[in-house]
Structure 1
Amino acid sequence: MAQGSGTLLRALHSTAPDSNRIVALLKLSNYYLDKPGDEKSDMDSTAYYADKAAGLSRELRLPRYYYDCILIKACLSASLHDYVKAEGLFGSAAKYHEQTGDKKKAAFTWLMFGDFIMYTDIPNAAIRKKAYVNSYKLFSAAGMKQESADLLGKVADADMVLGNFEQAEQELLSVIKEYKALKYRKVYLAYYLLAEVLYRKNAIKEGLLARIETANLFDQDPDGKDNDGALYYFCLAGAYYNDLQEQKALDVYLKCMKFSEKVGLKDYYYLCIRGAALCYSKLKKYREGLEFIRKYESRFPDHTVYHNMLLLSAKIQLYTLSGDLESAGRLIGRFRKASKEVYDALPQNKEFYRIDNYISFSDPLLRFYMKKQQWDEFGAAYKQLDALPWKGRSVLIERRMLHYAYTIDSVNGDFFSALKNYRSITRLNDSINNSKATEQIHELEAKYRLLAKDKTIHELHSETAIQKATLERRNAQFYGLIAGSFLILILACMAWYAYRHKIRINLDMSAKQLQINEQNRQLSLLLDEQQVLITEKDDLLLQKEWLLKEVHHRVKNNLQIVMSLLYGQSSHLQSDEALRAMRNVQNQIQSIAIIHQKLYTRSGLSTIRLSDYVHDLIGYLSGVYTPELRKIKITQHIDDIVLDPAQAVPVGLIMNEAVTNAIKYAFDGSGGEIKITASVSGKGSVRLLIADNGKGFASTEYQPAHMGMEMMAALAKQISGSFERKNDKGAVIMICFDIIDGAAAQPGASGIHTPFD
């Protein structure tokens, strides 16, 4: 665009109505299309000269020039963001080139249209993808493997923006395969995009693998750009940090800082300072972290609000975790002011990770409120973060927000919600952890270190040759600059005048691109503390379980000691009545001991299954009353009933007393049967029967004032139950009670028959 509009108009007026005039009209149309600025008059002039050229092309029957005019009008429509109209015009031009056999030009036509649409323009991402797909098909049909692989990568990028992560992943794997077959050095471009896709689909471990491969392949490219190196190392550092490899993350952040400082990438530089500070905090090197910030924070003195927020976030994190809450508190006001400005600008920010990054940068503020137990401020800060859009949040940020909610619910006593959030956190932790990916990460890291070592050795061997070549090149450049300085100055001024606006737009786009790619990986801080709390909780629960077992074990042992003392005393008794009383006491103690034995031998439970208890109790009584039981049959019909120890002890004593009385008094020498039945209704009410087919309550042993009967009635009352005795083809004792909360019962789940012949 070296010629001005005046020169082009004079050239137009000097032409005849032929192809030369069409060319002149096209030059004028392109001049106004490429002219810096968005003046309506320039757009109108573009359309005017394009229409004139199209009309003359039709008159002269020159379709090639006609579709050149269509292409200019398509670019004009795309510049005005009328993508629907632009799609039709680009499609018309591409179809013409395809029909004339020029598939390459048709492919570049669709590529041009796709590049007009910014990758952050989500509403038009589908149109962008369609353009790239058309271009990809044409390049493939033309046998242009490099270009078709490049276009498939652009298709994958569009699919990623649309949220088609699985499809984008498969497309990028195909791109990588083709690049490797072509021995294309910049295959790391596809690996970088693959890492982005994996991260957005929350495949954190696999994303780290792709980050390692990206940095590895970039280091092997001698033509790699420092800007790209800063981006790749920043992303790799964030991936290591998210994988809890803080020392590796710290080393990579320092390397990224060197690249960023070299090319003047301020945002990356301060993001790396914050990332390194977080690594120091995780490594519990708080003082070193603060010294690190003080050393490097003034490298670029003109801090933006965004830079201030990053630095303040890092300092508050280190002060808070080191316990210096006073120093952290002095920074809170400044941080909140900077944070508000960044928060207010979020709606205008189209960067994909803007929500994740803002939540991550705000994490030290909430951590400070937690340490200070300022729960009102903590809740207000959480609500502000929770109000941000949820779409596009990573699994790491979701886990962090769940941890905030878990903390608030725990403080407020809403343990049901806290448990629900805790389970969600556990599920997310399981989805993030991947042992197979971890092994692959270690293999890639070893490969990366080996390649880095080989590269260093090669650089040392070639250092002399490089220095010599550099000196010769500088000498040649010096003489060349002297000879052509005047010409270069003229050309530079003309180029600056012609492209100043386009350069400014490109710089703005580059800055936005850098900002988008910079705010990626600072996501998982509070979750580490939560993991510690979870571990402590599990340890406390385990200690509680062992302590309960120890208590029950000691109670059982103490009861055995009491029984041993009673056995010793009974050997000195001469009275049969006293011996019987002593035996009754021993039986009652043993019935309680069985319960405690059950409690300490069962793992993780604090309840008694009634059927198991009855079986053990009868087994014990069979050993005590062996002669009496030779002709007595004892049968059990017990539902699957689980009792709390507070109920199990009284019920056991009642059963012991009832069965013992039946064995001793119900039968004569001919023997009989004792039936123990326990059934449960749907409402949790238990009905327990101990019945025999013996003499019944008519004998003198069953007088109402008998101490055993009074004891059973009192024990039934103790568990809020009823006690009843009657004759029904023998003696029947029945108690009814409700199962207390915490126990459970299933009707008809157990039926055990225990005969003693």
Structure 2
Amino acid sequence: MHRGYLAAFVLFLHLGSGLHAEPIYPILHPAAVARLRALVRKSPADTHQVQRLQGLGEYYLHQYNGPGGPADKDSAYACSRRAEALSTTLGYKPGQIRSRYLLSYLLFDSGQPAEAQRLLSAAINLSRRCGYGQLEAEGWYYAAEAYTGPNHDLAGRIRCYQRARRLYQKLGNREKDAYLLKTVADVHYTQGNYALALRELLQVLATYRAIGHPRLHYTYDLLASVNCSMGNYREAIRYGLATVEAARRSHDTTDLPLFYARLGIANQEINQLPEATAYFEQALLHAQRENKVDQVLNAARHIVSTRLAQGQARQALAFYSDVLRQYPPATARVELDAALALAECYMALRRYDLAERQYLKILALEAEMGESYRNRFMAYQKIGNYYMTVQQYHKARHYLNQALALNKQGGSLRRNGNLHLLLFKVDSAQHRYRQALAHYQRYKALHDSVFNEKKSLQIASLQIQYATKEKEQNIALLTKQNRVQQVSIQQKEFQRNATLGGTLLLLLLSGTVYNRYRLKQRSNRLLEAKQTEINGKNAFLEQVLRDKEGLLRDKDTLLEEKEWMLKEIHHRVKNNLQIISSLLSSQAVYLQDPAALTAVRESQNRVHTMGLIHQNLYQSAGPSLVAMQAYIPELARHLVHSFNRQDSVRLELNVAPLSLDASLAVPVGLILNEALTNALKYAYPAGQPGPVAVSLQLHEGQCRLTIQDTGIGLPAGFDLHKSSTLGLHMIRGLSRQIGGRLQIQHTGGVQISLQFTPVKHPKPSLALT
């Protein structure tokens, strides 16, 4: 098979009905198409001419399925017929096979399924007889694409994809195998099987990264849409930003308008209207640059929806009317979407007569398009809302129920909730109170789900701002968070410890990931600025306390306020540690080196270890004591889940009801974190099952912490006294800090035990046996 021919065959695998179709090979640029036309006119009748004719046919078919019309379909058919005839004359079997694939698609589209199936089966059988494994795999991919439309057999489509995958796996083609798995995930997403689609897409992403695949943006885009449909808006926005970044990095900006539009939709789902409008305007700008009329009108329609949501109906109508004058719709689908936008403007202006004209036009166009119109559920929702407004409740219920059924196939939680709210109003108006109550309860459940997701949006916003280099806004947000802190002398001690711990972690990470050094330096300066501000506020508050000393006579009240302030600072320290963890997580998205990713994850676990201490402190009854019986199990389970060992490693916990001072609990927690991390990573390789025992007991005034596994033990020749690994270095140093006695045994596994005095002031002794 000629490699040049394979590169020329670029389009027919892009003809599927998936919502996030990615071409298996790059689409021909218009300049390349012009060169092909010139070569076809003057080149001899050889195999290269076959390839050129097929390339032109594929380009015309792409235009027909996109912004073009019947003329492009006729051109695609003519080029494909010429290519098949020339391939037959030359006896060029790869040309015959590919030409028949393309012709069969055209026949399917023209309503001739029997002839199309005959051509397709003959081409697949010919590729099998000739031993063309690559061509046979492409044939099964194409056979899957014959299952188009929502009413067709999606299970049969997946079976064809799986046959193509097996052939690519046999050929050792990991890239095409991953591509087909992504296509299967797209089908599962269309079916509404979001959890399965998400697992498959994460597997695709891991494979693409392992082989250095340059075009990750289509996978990121599909991950963003799946998370958006599941209500995981934070992840949807994160993957949406990664989509845009990856598209720019690979210089494949063809679908940038769609990527920006989907980012806008994710923000619109959580009612972040200014951010959504900004992304829609970016989509409009890029579509105008590429002169893509359908994408221009799509972006403009979304801008109209955000303006209507902000009460700007007249501005929205004027804006969209101006866009329609510059870019008149060229296809029925775009004309239908334009009618939807105009109808919404008229509804907002209460011009129901003009809105009715647009809705009747929509119903006519929708009937003409049939199953090819994918936004039918949106049209039904808007029409149902119109009929409810004009009090034609029977029609309103009919269209809203149809919209609800279609939305379940790939819609969002917010739209689902809005549909239930509209049905509640319709049933209430007709005194169907039992049905109305059921719809309202469903609306509230979905609304609360979206609202709860918005609570985690602040961290996502910080990640977005760091990714887009808006550091000044980050500083302002963090400063506002710290203005409400009221501190005392003990507060300064805890805050200083948190700052030093964060700085140490950032320095360790910078040594592992040197190319992120400058970002870490900025973070250090930010933390120092925060510390300076807190110190200044401490001095001010101390002066205020001295000035008003005569007024603070109630000792009980003073103690309560002091305890409240201590709990508040523990809460703030825990939040700051979570921000550091988020920073590490945001950097991990862009790392390719497995060692760097491991270092980042272990640093996150150390930050989480300290964060649990402060969470325990502000939740406990005592202001400075950590309940180890609650803290150690929570930390151990977090680490097991972090390393995905919950199905293979069995935790055996024996923790006495002890409470330690925070100055002891922090180093003890870090020692436990390092010991458990080593056990989870190395004790049971290749996913082998086994126990890991953690014990903390008090005997004769001494605490004894033990972490033990029955795994493979330490490597042969491993010298504990000479080892300089980071984990052992931290364990030794922290044991010395609390004046503990450390013992490490490696007979029948590894046992690490630490004996220390449960008092606030550590001893300077350390023994290692």
TM-score bracket, normalised by the shorter chain, equals 0.3 to 0.5
Greater relative CO, 1 or 2 (CA 8 Å, sep 6+): 1
Q: TM-score, normalised by structure 1?
A: 0.45
Which one has a bigger Cα radius of gyration? 1
Q: TM-score, normalised by structure 2?
A: 0.44
